[in-house]
């Protein structure tokens, strides 16, 4: 079930009404669990078996690890078993065909044959998100940072909670599980209104920015040979904002929906394009994933507490894995590798050349522009259909400054919505004393909220389909 669908506009209010009418957690938890599985099974019911398998494995792992506290070999054996099975499922459904085709190509170049057929299976929606969330829980129990959850339904809801099930934020057990256990969870009018406003802004980002400018991106990137370098530069710039608004829009809807019901999900985006360097950028972009890799990959590898060369290798390894997490394609590996290189070069610059202070507006602005340009270059690989296309695009951008492909509707409606987005992000970033939907004046609040709803209805694109990150 898509957030930007009529079904969700019926489903969500009904779930909220029933949830608050039930009042007691003995009924609320099972109800939300059923609603979450119904939400997920709208795509392909049979794949609910996978999320249930992951849930049962990590639930049992948590109990067994806690039961054998003090016996590290046994605890480690249970954890490794859980990790191997979970990642094996993820590998089969997401990476087997990619690895198989890569091995076939490599061996063919060497004159050898490889006749293993590809698997004819679809990628289950959200498998990377719920697998990482469940695995993170297992590791946290093993580390002793949280207690194992005894109530299976409560834990199952943690893994499958519908607002953030298919595209995050990738939640942590220490944040979400205690909220599910709360007995006194009453309806809060102010929280519900704030949640609805956050959802509304998420819909604006998705329908009025991402899906509108996305039409131009698709027209150009899917026919690279027909377009000039000028059009490809603009399409790349548009895609930067498309992927941001698509994913941050989803996150806002998810966080807002949970907030209406009284739950607090973690922040996932914090105006990343105002970052003066790549280190800060990754503290603002897809925060739940970058912090997951930090806690469960980068730090276990040794983080920055090792020799300097090893520290840079840890960074590269983490970002290559992050790129691979995004998709089974060499373009994503290149994207992750480029971000690793940016961070390593930034570290070397700080160590041997100059430590940027960003004490002046000019220095911070310069850093922000450079960081944005680096992200645009890397995201070119993220969007390209394959590496060959990415190389062709780079070549055309450098050599072909021909006429610009124009789409009037995208330019009028897309750029207008983009201007509203940039103004809002700048307002929040620099704490401008301007408020609209959260104004102290009731008239301003109502007019601005109604205006935003009207803008979405009149100028939003309702044929954009699913969110980009559903494929991950």
pLDDT per residue as tens digits for the range 411-430: 888 899 999 999 999 999 99
- 144 within domain boundaries: yes
Asked if 35 and 96 sit in the same domain, the reply is: yes
- Report cis status (omega within 30 of 0) of the bond before 169: yes
Interaxial angle between packed helices 127-143 and 72-90, expressed in degrees from 0 to 180 and rounded to the nearest 10: 180
Please compute the mean of the pLDDT values over residues 212-239 and round it to a whole number.
Answer: 92
Burial of 49 per CB tally in 10 Å (0-12, 13-18, 19+): exposed
Residue 268 has pLDDT above 80, yes or no: yes
Using one digit for the tens of pLDDT, what is the confidence trace for 145-188?
999 999 999 999 999 999 998 887 999 999 999 999 876 678 88
Asked if 430 and 376 sit in the same domain, the reply is: yes
- Could you give the C-alpha distances from 341 to 90, 317, 318, 353, 393, in angstroms and in order? 27, 11, 11, 17, 21
CB-based contacts of 399: which residues, under 8 Å, 6+ apart? Answer: 229
- 242 within domain boundaries: yes
Rg (CA), the chain: 23
pLDDT of residue 178: 93
Asked if 79 and 139 sit in the same domain, the reply is: yes
- Token pair of 63 as six digits: 């109990």
Asked if 168 and 201 sit in the same domain, the reply is: no
Provide, rounded to the nearest whole percent, the portion of the chain with pLDDT above 90: 67
Q: Which residue segment(s) compose the domain that 405 sits in?
A: 191-276+356-459
Using one digit for the tens of pLDDT, what is the confidence trace for 10-60?
999 999 999 999 987 788 999 999 999 999 998 888 889 999 999 999 999
- 464 within domain boundaries: no
pLDDT of residue 466: 72
CB-based contacts of 240: which residues, under 8 Å, 6+ apart? Answer: 273, 372, 375, 376, 379
Identify whether the C-beta of residue 268 lies closer than 8 Å to the C-beta of residue 169. yes
pLDDT of residue 472: 62
Annotated catalytic, 223?
no
- 112 within domain boundaries: yes
Mean pLDDT of the chain, nearest integer: 90
Identify whether the C-beta of residue 303 lies closer than 8 Å to the C-beta of residue 314. yes
Provide, rounded to the nearest whole percent, the portion of the chain with pLDDT above 70: 98
How far apart are alpha carbons 64 and 463 in whole angstroms? Answer: 47
pLDDT of residue 400: 84
Residue 364 has pLDDT above 70, yes or no: yes
Asked if 180 and 197 sit in the same domain, the reply is: no
pLDDT of residue 464: 60
**Coil, helix or strand at residue 140:** helix
* Alpha helices, H only, 23-126: 25-41, 48-67, 72-90, 96-109
Q: Which of 79-88, 189-198, 215-224, 399-408 has the lowest mean pLDDT?
A: 399-408
**Confidence band for 263, pLDDT divided at 50, 70 and 90:** very high
CB-based contacts of 32: which residues, under 8 Å, 6+ apart? Answer: 15, 19, 157, 161, 162
Residue 302 has pLDDT above 70, yes or no: yes
Asked if 170 and 216 sit in the same domain, the reply is: no
Better-scored residue on pLDDT, 449 or 105? 449
- 284 within domain boundaries: no
**Confidence band for 208, pLDDT divided at 50, 70 and 90:** very high
pLDDT of residue 460: 85
Residue 108 has pLDDT above 80, yes or no: no
Q: Which of 232, 231, 164 is nearest to 199 (CA)?
A: 164
Asked if 149 and 205 sit in the same domain, the reply is: no
pLDDT of residue 6: 84
Asked if 181 and 212 sit in the same domain, the reply is: no
pLDDT of residue 331: 93
Q: Which of 5, 410, 470, 437 is nearest to 246 (CA)?
A: 470
* Marked catalytic residue, from 227, 286, 326, 339: 326
Identify whether the C-beta of residue 397 lies closer than 8 Å to the C-beta of residue 229. yes
**Confidence band for 405, pLDDT divided at 50, 70 and 90:** confident
Measured from the Cβ of residue 150, the count of other Cβ atoms closer than 10 Å reads: 11
Q: 């507490």: which residue's tokens?
A: 305
Asked if 253 and 151 sit in the same domain, the reply is: no
How far apart are alpha carbons 63 and 398 in whole angstroms? Answer: 58
Asked if 84 and 148 sit in the same domain, the reply is: yes
Count: domains in the chain = 2
Please compute the mean of the pLDDT values over residues 357-370 and round it to a whole number.
Answer: 87
């Amino acid at each position: 079930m898509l957030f930007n669908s009529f079904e969700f506009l019926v489903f969500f209010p009904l779930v909220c009404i029933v949830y608050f009418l039930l009042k007691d957690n003995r009924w609320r938890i099972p109800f939300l669990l059923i609603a979450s599985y119904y939400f997920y099974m709208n795509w392909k019911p049979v794949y609910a078996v996978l999320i249930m398998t992951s849930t049962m494995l990590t639930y049992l792992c948590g109990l067994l690890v806690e039961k054998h506290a003090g016996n590290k070999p046994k605890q480690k054996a249970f954890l490794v078993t859980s990790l191997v099975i979970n990642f094996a499922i993820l590998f089969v459904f997401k990476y087997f065909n990619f690895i198989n085709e890569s091995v076939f190509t490599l061996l063919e170049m060497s004159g050898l044959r490889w006749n293993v057929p590809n698997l004819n299976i679809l990628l289950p929606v959200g498998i990377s998100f719920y697998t990482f969330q469940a695995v993170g829980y297992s590791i946290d129990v093993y580390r002793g940072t949280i207690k194992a959850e005894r109530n299976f339904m409560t834990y199952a809801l943690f893994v499958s909670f519908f607002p953030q099930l298919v595209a995050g934020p990738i939640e942590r057990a220490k944040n979400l599980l205690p909220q599910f256990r709360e007995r006194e969870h009453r309806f809060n009018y102010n929280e519900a209104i704030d949640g609805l406003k956050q959802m509304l802004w998420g819909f604006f980002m998705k329908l009025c920015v991402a899906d509108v400018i996305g039409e131009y991106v698709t027209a150009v990137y899917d026919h690279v040979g027909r377009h000039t370098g000028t059009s490809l530069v603009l399409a790349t710039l548009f895609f930067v904002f498309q992927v941001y608004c698509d994913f941050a829009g989803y996150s806002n809807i998810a966080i807002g929906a949970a907030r209406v019901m009284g739950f607090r999900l973690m922040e996932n985006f914090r105006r990343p394009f105002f970052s003066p360097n790549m280190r800060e950028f990754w503290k603002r972009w897809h925060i739940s994933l970058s912090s997951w890799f930090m806690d469960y990959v980068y730090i276990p590898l040794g983080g920055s507490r090792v020799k300097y060369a090893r520290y840079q290798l840890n960074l590269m390894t983490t970002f290559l894995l992050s790129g691979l997490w995004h998709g089974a394609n060499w373009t994503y590996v290149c994207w992750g590798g480029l971000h690793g290189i940016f961070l390593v070069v930034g570290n070397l610059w700080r160590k041997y050349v100059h430590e940027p202070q960003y004490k002046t507006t000019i220095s911070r602005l310069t850093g922000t522009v450079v960081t944005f340009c680096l992200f645009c270059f890397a995201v070119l690989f993220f969007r390209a259909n394959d590496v060959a296309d990415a190389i062709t695009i780079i070549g055309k951008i450098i050599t072909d400054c021909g006429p610009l492909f124009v789409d009037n509707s995208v330019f009028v409606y897309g750029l207008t919505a983009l201007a509203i987005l940039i103004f809002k992000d700048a307002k929040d970033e620099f704490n401008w004393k301007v408020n609209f939907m959260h104004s102290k004046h009731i008239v301003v609040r109502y007019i601005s909220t109604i205006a935003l709803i009207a803008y979405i209805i009149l100028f939003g694109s309702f044929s954009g389909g699913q969110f980009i990150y559903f494929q991950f």
